[in-house]
């Protein structure tokens, strides 16, 4: 058995190891067992120096069902009364898994069927392209740990839905809440929409830094979400089919303790290495979250309304190219991302635009972080434009007394560029 602080990894069949564990000793079990694909899964790491594999071959559905039932019964015992179980599967055996989970945990403890959706390039097979896997979410009882996660409102949400509190009328219909005078009651803090059971999280791309080369490795973002939902700091996460150890790395990054088990020596070895040097893909996606990333793109495009442009996808340094040229080259645009200084963003834009021959580049400032001392450092050709959001935030800050209402309509010129520069 390997021991990292707060993480234990066991090599072997999980059944006897689970049998040796104390009852009620873990808070969350995440299982990603073989999916009944009737294949041997093989993959090589990036340097192609070796091949990792695991078998998913069964003589019958019955053999597979028995294998799951025995292990899930032990998991039922080792998870605490307020704990949860997330069972990862796909279309090959979701029907079997659901029936077995109902049997072992009780259908009354079924919480959700989570659809993990991702994009894939087309394959040549005839039929519908599979682009999801299923995670069955059960709890041990009614009294379970659940940390709400809120997501953005959809663009179709109307303003009343966001601003007004809702209540139930006499026939239990959801209506806008009203006070005694019949006025709508405001909703208070707008938290967004509770996370749904369809999770749009990208599959690990072949170049992702966190990719180990272990077959069927899951993204850290997916495991982080499960662990954040169902556990608190200091809780214990169990993964009896840990493969490359994704759940253990996520648990470690989120300050949970963890226990991992796998039959494969390669899997245990990779897991140990990952835990010693946990690598999250340093993609913007993982740094700032998918929504923030997507919104930043939307912000860039929203700000450009009224200008003729072509959106640019999959380029870290350019969000759009204007349809008009400047000095024989294209005009490029980038929106500053959360957590990034203006100077960093300006350099990124300049670097990405250089090979396109751009001599004029617009950087849309979303915050002023680190921008006070770089006037002379801004790459040539970069023009910094203040975003409306930044302008509104700063004007609000300037109104020292937010209770003072402006009596007349006012035009507030942009906050003077003590800090934003144009260098051409
Ligand atoms: C789908 S993979 C897990 C991938 C993992 N979630 C990741 O992100 O890398 C399934 C794993 O189950 C392991 N396995 C299969 N049968 C097992 C058993 N009886 N006990 C423990 N591990 C087993 C395989 O070696 C394989 O690593």
pLDDT tens digits for 102-122?
Answer: 999 999 999 999 999 998 876
Q: Is 317 in the pocket of ligand 1 (CB under 6 A)?
A: no
Read off the pLDDT of each residue in 302-318 and give the average, rounded to a whole number.
76
Contact assessment for residue 284 and residue 337, using Cβ atoms and an 8 Å cutoff: yes
Task: Give the separation between CA 31 and CA 260, rounded to whole angstroms.
Answer: 10
Does the pLDDT at position 402 exceed 90?
no
The domain locations on the chain are 2-150+194-282, 153-191, 287-398
Q: Tell me if 2-150+194-282 shares its fold with 287-398.
A: no
Render pLDDT for 271-284 as a digit per residue (tens, 0 to 9): 999 999 887 664 44
Whole-number Å distance, alpha carbon 278 to ligand 1 midpoint, is: 19
Which ligand 1 atom minimizes the distance to the CA of 264? 25
Render pLDDT for 207-229 as a digit per residue (tens, 0 to 9): 788 899 999 999 999 999 999 99
| Phi, psi angle pair for 422, to nearest 5° | -120, 125
Going by CA atoms, what residue is nearest to atom 13 of ligand 1? Answer: 241
Which mutation among 243, 268, 281 tests ligand 1's pocket best, with the greatest number of atoms within 8 A of CB?
A: 243
Whole-number Å distance, alpha carbon 293 to ligand 1 midpoint, is: 32
Architecture of domain 287-398: 3-Layer(aba) Sandwich (3.40)
Whole-number Å distance, alpha carbon 262 to ligand 1 midpoint, is: 6
Which ligand 1 atom minimizes the distance to the CA of 67? 19
Going by CA atoms, what residue is nearest to atom 2 of ligand 1? Answer: 243
Q: Is the entire prediction scored with pTM above 0.85?
A: no
Least confident piece of the model among 41-50, 76-85, 201-210, 398-407: 398-407
Query: Where does 2-150+194-282 sit in CATH, by number?
Result: 3.40.50.150
**424 band by pLDDT with thresholds 50, 70 and 90:** very low
Q: Where is pLDDT greater, at 277 or 41? A: 41
- State the DSSP string of 178-207: B-TTSPBPB--S---EE--SEEE-PPPPTT
Contact assessment for residue 26 and residue 259, using Cβ atoms and an 8 Å cutoff: yes
Least confident piece of the model among 21-30, 58-67, 406-415: 406-415
Q: Is 32 in the pocket of ligand 1 (CB under 6 A)?
A: yes
Query: Given 3-state DSSP classes, what are the helix, strand and coil percentages for the chain, each rounded to the nearest 5?
Result: 30, 25, 45
Read off the pLDDT of each residue in 302-309 and give the average, rounded to a whole number.
76
Whole-number Å distance, alpha carbon 259 to ligand 1 midpoint, is: 14
**76 band by pLDDT with thresholds 50, 70 and 90:** very high
Residue (of 366, 309, 301, 372) closest to 339 by Cα position: 366
Going by CA atoms, what residue is nearest to atom 7 of ligand 1? Answer: 217
Whole-number Å distance, alpha carbon 423 to ligand 1 midpoint, is: 56
Q: Is 218 in the pocket of ligand 1 (CB under 6 A)?
A: yes
Going by CA atoms, what residue is nearest to atom 18 of ligand 1? Answer: 13
Q: Is 266 in the pocket of ligand 1 (CB under 6 A)?
A: no
Residue (of 190, 202, 185, 119) closest to 152 by Cα position: 190
Polymer length in residues for the chain: 424
Does the pLDDT at position 364 exceed 70?
yes
**Coil, strand or helix at 23:** coil
Which ligand 1 atom minimizes the distance to the CA of 240? 21
200 exposed, middle or buried (CB, 10 Å; 0-12, 13-18, 19+)? middle
Q: Is 140 in the pocket of ligand 1 (CB under 6 A)?
A: no
Q: Is 246 in the pocket of ligand 1 (CB under 6 A)?
A: yes
């Amino acid at each position: 058995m390997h021991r990292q602080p707060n993480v234990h990894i066991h090599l072997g069949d999980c059944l006897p190891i689970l049998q040796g564990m104390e009852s009620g000793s873990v808070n969350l079990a995440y299982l990603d067992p073989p999916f009944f694909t009737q294949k041997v899964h093989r993959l090589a790491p990036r340097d192609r120096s070796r091949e990792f594999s695991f078998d998913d071959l069964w003589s019958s559905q019955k053999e597979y069902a028995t294998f799951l039932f025995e292990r899930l019964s032990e998991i039922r015992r080792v998870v605490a009364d307020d704990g949860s179980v997330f069972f990862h599967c796909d279309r090959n055996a979701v029907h079997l898994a659901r029936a077995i989970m109902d049997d072992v945990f009780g259908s009354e403890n079924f919480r959700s069927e989570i659809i993990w959706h991702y994009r894939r390039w087309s394959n040549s097979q005839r039929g519908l392209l599979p682009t999801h896997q299923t995670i069955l979410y059960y709890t041990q009882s009614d009294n379970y740990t659940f940390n709400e996660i809120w997501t953005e409102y959809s663009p179709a949400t109307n303003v009343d839905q966001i601003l007004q509190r809702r209540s139930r009328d006499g026939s239990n219909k959801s209506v806008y809440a009203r006070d005694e005078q019949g006025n709508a009651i405001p909703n208070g803090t707008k938290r967004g929409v509770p996370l749904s059971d369809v999770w749009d999280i990208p599959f690990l791309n072949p170049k992702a830094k966190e990719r180990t080369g272990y077959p069927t490795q899951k993204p850290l973002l997916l495991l982080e979400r499960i662990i954040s939902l169902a556990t608190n700091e200091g809780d214990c996460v169990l993964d009896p089919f840990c493969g490359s150890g994704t759940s253990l790395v996520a648990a470690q990054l989120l300050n949970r303790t963890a226990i991992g088990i796998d039959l494969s020596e390669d899997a245990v070895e990779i897991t140990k290495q990952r835990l010693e040097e946990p690598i999250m893909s340093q993609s913007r996606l993982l740094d700032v979250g998918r929504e923030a990333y997507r919104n930043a793109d939307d912000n860039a495009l929203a700000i450009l309304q009224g200008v003729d442009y072509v959106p640019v996808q999959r380029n870290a340094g350019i969000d759009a190219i204007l349809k008009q040229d400047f000095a024989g080259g294209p005009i490029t645009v980038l929106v500053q991302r959360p957590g990034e200084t203006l100077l960093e963003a300006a350099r990124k834009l300049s670097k990405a635009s250089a090979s396109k021959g751009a001599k004029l580049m617009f950087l849309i400032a979303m915050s002023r972080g680190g921008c006070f001392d770089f006037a002379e450092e801004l790459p040539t050709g970069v023009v910094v434009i203040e975003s409306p959001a930044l302008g509104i935030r700063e004007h609000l800050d300037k109104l020292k007394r937010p209770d003072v209402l402006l009596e007349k309509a006012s035009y507030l010129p942009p906050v003077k560029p003590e800090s934003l520069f144009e260098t051409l």
